[in-house]
Amino acid sequence: CRKLKKLCLKSCGTIGETELFALCLKNVEEIELRTCRSIVDVVLLKVSEICESLNSLLIYDGGNKDGLVHFMNNSRCNDTLKTLDLRLPMDLMDEHLVSLAASFKSLSALRLPSCYFVTGHSLKILALSFCSSLEELSLRSCDAVEREPGLLATLGQHLGRLRKLELSFNEWLYDKEVVSMLASCSGLVELDLRGCKNLTGSVLVSLNKSCVKLRSLDIASCRLIQAGEVEDFVMKSQRLKKIVVEENKITEAAMKWASSKLIDVVALDSDVPW
């Protein structure tokens, strides 16, 4: 197993002999830990000690606060890690992100879904630290995005290299916050706003003005966006190749425009909650 490149563990309660497990980590480049709360601390300890070429780490649904801090502060892969995906709603705190910003300088993709206890303070520090490298950011269902006015605008000002942005299921996110961020993110090619129930067609107008390189947009379950506004957006878009939206918001005219522009329309069932 010394040639192992990718390690995926799901619902594991033990790793067996620690030293034998460590032998597998030397050349690992990608690690996924899903629902492994009882072992995540020892795994992160060994990863921080051994892995020198890790470029992707995913931890979902079960973390260890001390283990995360140790990894952030003592990892040997701080020059190689490019993608970090942490869905740890009860474990991820500001101190982890501050340590991440101090120790890692070349992240290109950062996904923090359901980061309930993270505040705008640490997110701003991250944005400053990764301003020259970050191309993908996910803040799906992030409390700080909804409760701190001006946060998205600040993040956008620092993250001008963003190409992919996910803000889905932030139900109390309003137009002003999104529009202010988009104004600084002219390089966006993919945007996910699914489930942002208080956004209106004003966001679509802003997209066509500020994000002319946009190729993929998800606005499913954005209940205040109207069919006519979707039609106008499709008609005026310059490089759009995919749009995800409820079928009752796709007019016949919108379909004609999409067909003529070779835009893939993913029309979801209007009666199904997404």
**Whole domain around residue 16: which residue ranges?**
1-81
Distances (CA, A) of 24 to 19, 64, 75, 109: 9, 22, 17, 25
In a domain, 174, yes or no: no
Residues in the chain: 274
pLDDT of residue 272: 57
In a domain, 1, yes or no: yes
In a domain, 187, yes or no: no
In a domain, 7, yes or no: yes
DSSP readout, 149-190? Answer: TTHHHHHHHH-TT--EEE-TT-TT--HHHHHHHHTT-TT--E
Please state, in angstroms and rounded to a whole number, the distance separating the CA atoms of residues 268 and 274.
Answer: 9
Q: Is the pLDDT of residue 211 over 60?
A: yes
Query: Total structural domains in the chain?
Result: 1
Taking all residues of the chain, what is their mean pLDDT, rounded to a whole number? 95
In a domain, 162, yes or no: no
Q: Is the pLDDT of residue 2 over 80?
A: no
The answer to whether the CB of 121 falls within 8 A of the CB of 151 is no
Q: Is the pLDDT of residue 116 over 70?
A: yes
Q: Is the pLDDT of residue 62 over 90?
A: no
CA dihedral 180, 170, 55, 24 (to 10 degrees): 170
In a domain, 101, yes or no: no
The rounded percent of the chain whose pLDDT value lies above 90 is: 88
Q: What average pLDDT score do residues 113-126 get? A: 96
pLDDT of residue 271: 60
In a domain, 149, yes or no: no
In a domain, 122, yes or no: no
7: nearest Cα among 60, 57, 80, 82? 57
